[in-house]
Structure 1
Amino acid sequence: MAPSYQTIALFGANGQVGKYVFNTLIEWKESEFRVIAFVSPNSDFRLNQYGGMKALEERLDLHKITVDDLAVILAHHNVDVIVSTLGHAVINKQGVIQDAAAKAGVKRFYPSEFGMHQIPWFPGEGGYLHPTWAVKIKCLDDAIKHPAIQSGKMTYTVIGCAEMYDMPDEPILCPWLEKDELITKKGYQVQCVGNPDAKMDYSCCADVAKYLVASIQHPERSENKILGFRSDFISYSEITQLLEKHSGKKARLNVTSIEQVKTIVKDPSTAPAEFQRGSTFPVDFWILLRYVQGQGTFWRPPGLLSNDLFPEVTPTSMEAYFKSLFEK
């Protein structure tokens, strides 16, 4: 079955999420997409690592390129769909991409979401909106309310998920992917805040990428929709038990108190030294993420979870993931 959309421009193809999306697009067996991988000029991304003729590479600096110049590039490639997987460092340049897409006649826009917005509430206090979430909320709102969307000339699809458990550049959040054997020789430490038995949504990058590509292949199911996807619904207590079972090493929970979280949010320099490494996110952001998860509110209710929209994408449980990771 040939998809309605053939040429996909992927921005951030070298990123943590973008790599999975790029691989899935070029390996997708049900359809043959033509992929334009957009990366920064200094990226270590190398197209020849992937082989095949279904992909092209474009290097550009989003901080410098104009809307008109980018529109010319997109029109030259006859781009049907743009997928933005830009991270927190450059996500505020997403508007330039969408403005250019509108000029070039791009039909569908996927803004960079890949998460779940949160406004944490501390007991007896008001809500606190971390700047990282604030930027994402603003970028998403701008994307789905873009003039081209309003006029009907462009459609959108938003892929919402949860924290990803297969992010190799996040060893403090994914300790099972820690590469330093000096750290792991005594076992694994799983970070949590509050109630370690609180269940939460968790997602697998590989699953999310398959879900996204399935939505491109079936654009009629995903047109102008905000979709939610999860791979597992699980607690940190359960994760720690499964990690110990399948890794063969000790795994323990490190429970940070709510009072310490509040102190770290006010002054990130007060965080323990071990919290200051192992993540691309600032420590006050990821500790707030753990706080929300520990409150038992980090999950999508019925109606906001859309796994069944593409049943061909089978979610990978954390136990199945640990089996594949450790039992090779």
Structure 2
Amino acid sequence: MIVVAGATGDLGGRIVQELVRLNAPVVALARGGASAEELAASRADVRIVDFDDERSLTGAVAGATCVISALSGLEPVVIGAQGRLLDAAVRAGVPRFIPSDFAIDFRKLPPGTNRNLDLRKRFQARAEQADIRLTSVFNGAFMDMLTGTMPIVQHPIRRVLYWGSADQPMDFTTIADTAAFTARAAMDDTSPRALNICGGRVSARDLAEIVSKVHGRRYRVMPAGTVGSLGLVIAVAKRVAPGKAGEIYPAWQGMQYMRNLFAGEGMLDAPFDNDRYPGMRWTRVEDVLLQDARR
């Protein structure tokens, strides 16, 4: 039995759907509300749980062979709620835990360069002390962001922006592929401490060539500054537009992710683990951009 926390989110919901498709017994944890009702239609066993209630959490994960955390948020969630989930899994005797580490390899990042990933690193230090087997899935950046959330492809001027070097490789994997791989990892009792997956390792120059092919028009790379200058922009943005209290992705936080990528920080170790589970089909950057162009 696999338990998924954060099942009402995009990634967590996809993990639940994939586990159901693979005929794995799956329990989806939810706080309640309309999103929990939607989960009930997925054929998963939906359990309403209070993440602040130790007894409720422990009972919800009892009997699981693996707990997957797809929780997303700031310190109250990543350290607080996820920490209580980890403790509950240990109390219930669950043998394995997959933390919400889905990102570039934040273990390699200089401290202070990415607020959200610093939280993941803090949680990892705590989880390493727990009496449970851990498996982290590192997938690079979500490839889906290339269609707008990560605004480096500028269609109106047919340019692909970059900071530093146009040839710096960056790792991307779609949310769907990350979910499909994670579902299989949760069913794999032999999975190692860390798994690295990558749907495409591309540079800004590669992206320009791919977008040109997809749209049938020439796109060129365009320098936007140095990695250091991007760091200065982030510092200014944090002061003048810090975002709302509790906001997970204010503009400056998104810039921190871009800075990590263009600085080559957090690149995944090769060879990747893409071939670990037979039958996985990996979405390419070309596929994502082509689908976006057809909308």
> TM-score by structure 2 length?
0.81
For 2:126, the equivalent position in structure 1 comes to 142
Code of the residue aligned with 1:56 in structure 2: it is D
Point out the more displaced range, 242-251 or 10-19. 242-251
| Structure 1 residues 73 and 296: CA distance shift in structure 2, 3 A | closer
Establish whether residue 104 from structure 1 lines up as the match of residue 60 from structure 2: no
Alignment correspondent of 2:35 = 45
Does the alignment pair 1:226 with 2:194?
Answer: yes
Which secondary structure state, in structure 1, belongs to the residue aligned with residue 35 of structure 2? coil
Post-superposition offset of 1:196:
2.3
* Alignment match, 2:61: 74
| Cα displacement (A) at 1:99 | 0.8
Matches within 5 A, 1:78-227: 78-89=63-74, 90-92=77-79, 93-116=81-104, 117=106, 128-146=112-130, 148-149=131-132, 155-166=133-144, 171-173=148-150, 186=156, 190-220=160-190, 222=191, 224-227=192-195
How far apart, CA to CA, are the structure 2 residues paired with 1:288 and 1:326?
27
Cα RMSD (Å) of the superposition?
3.4
SS where residue 219 of structure 1 aligns?
coil
Q: Secondary structure at the match of 2:135?
A: strand
Correspondent of 2:230 among 235, 257, 261: 261
Query: Structure 1 residues 119, 158: CA separation in 2 closer, same or farther (over 3 Å shift)?
Result: closer
Q: Tell me the residue number matched to 1:235.
A: 203
Letter matched to residue 173 of structure 1: M
How far the C-alpha of 1:307 sits from its partner, in A, is 2.3
SS of residue matched to 1:100: helix
Q: Report the counterpart of residue 293 of structure 1 in structure 2.
A: 261
The offset of 1:239, in angstroms, is: 1.8
Structure 2 residue identity aligned to 1:13: A
CA separation of 1:311/1:325 partners in 2, compared to 1, >3 Å: closer, same or farther? Answer: farther
Partner SS state of residue 26, structure 2: strand
Partner of 2:27: 36
Q: Is the 8 A contact 1:16 1:167 kept in 2?
A: no
CA deviation map 1:59-91 (0-9, x unaligned): 3443xx22223112322xx32221001113321
Q: Deviations over 1:11-42 (max 9, x none)?
A: 111223212212212222xxx11222223345
Q: Which residue of 2 aligns with 1:18?
A: 12
Equivalent residue, structure 2, for 1:58: 47
How far has the Cα of 1:201 moved from its partner? 1.4
Q: SS at the partner of 1:37? A: strand
**Alpha-carbon separation, structure 1, partners of 2:39 and 2:117:** 34
1:38–1:316 Cα change, 3 Å: same
What is the distance in 1 between the residues matched to 2:149 and 2:218?
A: 16
Question: Which blocks of at least 5 consecutive residues in structure 2 are unaligned?
Answer: none
3-state DSSP of counterpart to 2:275: helix
From the superposition, tell whether residues 120 and 99 of structure 1 become closer, same or farther in structure 2 (CA, over 3 Å): closer
Hey, what's the Cα distance between the residues in 1 that align with 2:21 and 2:136? 22
- The 3 A distance-change label for structure 1 pair 205 and 215 is same
Deviation at 1:271, TM superposition (A): 7.7
Distance 1:327 1:257 in 2: 31
Deviation at 1:297, TM superposition (A): 4.6
Deviation at 1:298, TM superposition (A): 4.7
The within-5 A match list for 1:239-318 is: 239-247=207-215, 255-258=223-226, 259-269=228-238, 281-302=249-270, 305-318=272-285
Structure 1 residue identity aligned to 2:250: P
Structure 1 gaps, min length 5: 1-6, 122-126, 150-154, 177-182
Aligned: 1:9 with 2:10: no
Cα separation, 2, equivalents of 1:241 and 1:37: 41
CA deviations on 1:160-182 (whole Å, 9 max, x unpaired) are 110001259x8331678xxxxxx
Q: Is the 8 A contact 2:158 2:219 kept in 1?
A: yes
Task: State the partner residue of 1:179.
Answer: none
Assess, with a 3 A threshold, how the Cα gap between structure 1 residues 51 and 174 changes in structure 2: closer, same or farther. farther
